[in-house]
């Protein structure tokens, strides 16, 4: 049986020193690109960081960032651009933040407008802290990080349930805010707009090596 056309675009192998991609459909794309470029320079690596808008661009990446933004819009554009299966079958790293966490979930509570990507066995409550004015910053204790990470939460989601194969990295009283599943790092906050780029370092130097 021949492979469906939209899946053929997902079938190329990942090359060595492959680029890091940032899903560039909506959200804080330039901030992610800048953060990764800074960390790559600090690590002395020769890796490009590119915006990604087409499904056929995904398989050639080493990693894909799913940025913060408006989760409903991001998911609708993923489906409109036939990117769902390419993201779900992608074997490289995933760096998902804020709305990216919502998109990555298995289940989003009280959400009927879209079906998330199911990149990790997590249940997410979107906009768990209310409106934009409820945004806040906090020094966050992250497993393996010292000193605490200064995290920026903007209309942030929260993880209310994590499966047994998901490693919880950080929690606050309201719930879980950072998890890892294999090569997938999923955060409810915005490290790309922080001066602290340790999570980007961790992702590129340790998570991708798994």
Long-range contacts of 203-209 (CB under 8 A, 24+ apart): 203/63, 203/93, 203/95, 204/20, 204/36, 204/39, 204/40, 204/43, 204/45, 204/63, 205/43, 207/93, 207/180, 207/183, 208/62, 208/63, 208/92, 208/93, 208/183
Instruction: Give tens-digit pLDDT for 165-206.
Output: 999 999 999 899 999 999 999 999 999 998 899 999 999 999
CATH architecture entry for 5-209: 3-Layer(aba) Sandwich (3.40)
Q: What's the pLDDT at 87?
A: 98
Does position 57 have pLDDT exceeding 90, yes or no? yes
| Distance (Å) of CA 143 to CA 147, 179, 199 | 11, 10, 11
Does position 11 have pLDDT exceeding 60, yes or no? no
Going by DSSP bridges, is the β-strand pair 184-187/175-181 parallel, antiparallel, or unpaired?
A: antiparallel
Place of tokens 């066995």: 121
pTM, whole model, 2 decimals? 0.90
Which residues are known catalytic residues? 98, 190, 192
> 10 Å Cβ neighbour count for 63?
25
The backbone torsions φ and ψ at residue 28, rounded to the nearest 5 degrees and listed phi first, read -85, 70
Categorize the per-residue pLDDT at 112 as very low, low, confident or very high, splitting at 50, 70 and 90: confident
- The domain ranges of the chain are 5-209
């Amino acid at each position: 049986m021949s492979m469906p056309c939209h899946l053929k675009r997902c079938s190329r192998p990942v090359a060595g020193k492959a680029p890091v991609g940032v899903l560039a459909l909506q959200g804080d794309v330039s901030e992610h690109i800048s953060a990764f470029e800074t960390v790559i320079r600090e690590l002395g690596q020769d890796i490009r960081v590119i915006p990604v808008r087409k499904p056929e661009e995904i398989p050639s990446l080493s990693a894909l960032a799913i940025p913060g933004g408006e989760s409903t819009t991001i998911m609708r554009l993923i489906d409109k651009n036939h990117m769902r299966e390419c993201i779900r079958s992608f074997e490289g790293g995933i760096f998902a933040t804020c709305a990216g966490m919502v998109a990555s979930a298995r289940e989003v509570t009280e959400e009927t407008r879209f079906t998330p990507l199911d990149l990790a066995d997590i249940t997410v409550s979107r906009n768990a802290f209310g409106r934009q004015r409820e945004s806040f910053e906090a020094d966050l204790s992250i497993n393996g990080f010292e000193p605490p990470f200064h995290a920026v939460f903007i209309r942030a989601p929260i993880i209310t349930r994590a499966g047994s194969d998901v490693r919880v990295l950080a929690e606050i009283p309201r719930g879980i805010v950072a998890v890892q599943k294999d090569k997938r790092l999923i955060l409810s906050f915005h490290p790309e707009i922080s001066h602290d780029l340790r999570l980007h370092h961790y992702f590129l130097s340790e998570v991708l090596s798994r």
